[in-house]
Amino acid sequence: MEKKDEVLNFLRQNKQYFRDNYRVTKLGLFGSFARGTNTEDSDIDLIIELEEDTKDIYDLKNNLRQFVRENLGRNVDLTREKYLKPYAKEKILKEVIYV
């Protein structure tokens, strides 16, 4: 998986799957793939939000990370907006591409 459009297409095509299986309500791409500056070593950075009453968040996030990694062939970093550090939050939210 080498291009922003390929990653975004995969995310869009699987949006309902993410909702049904991982309780994802909001999903976006940020980082080097969103900027189009990714290299062969770049990971895929995703920002997600989950349904409010979600339990076992740790397991869901790990399973989601593994599903994306297996399908796109890249390491995946997942974060939630409420856990972003203040110094990084503004930059990330400006570049995120939601699907």
User: How many domains does the structure of the chain reveal?
Assistant: 1
In DSSP notation, the chain reads ---HHHHHHHHHHTHHHHHHHH-EEEEEEESHHHHT---TTPPEEEEEEE-TT---HHHHHHHHHHHHHHHHSS-EEEEEGGGS-HHHHHHHHHH-EE-
Model pLDDT, residue 68:
98
The CATH number linked to 90 is 3.30.460.10
Asked if the model's pLDDT at residue 54 lies above 60, the reply is yes
Checking if the pLDDT of 1 tops 70, the result is: no
Q: Is the pLDDT of residue 55 over 60?
A: yes
Instruction: State which residues form the domain around 30.
Output: 4-98
Q: Would the pLDDT of 73 be above 90? A: yes
Q: Give tens-digit pLDDT for 30-53.
A: 999 999 999 999 999 999 999 888
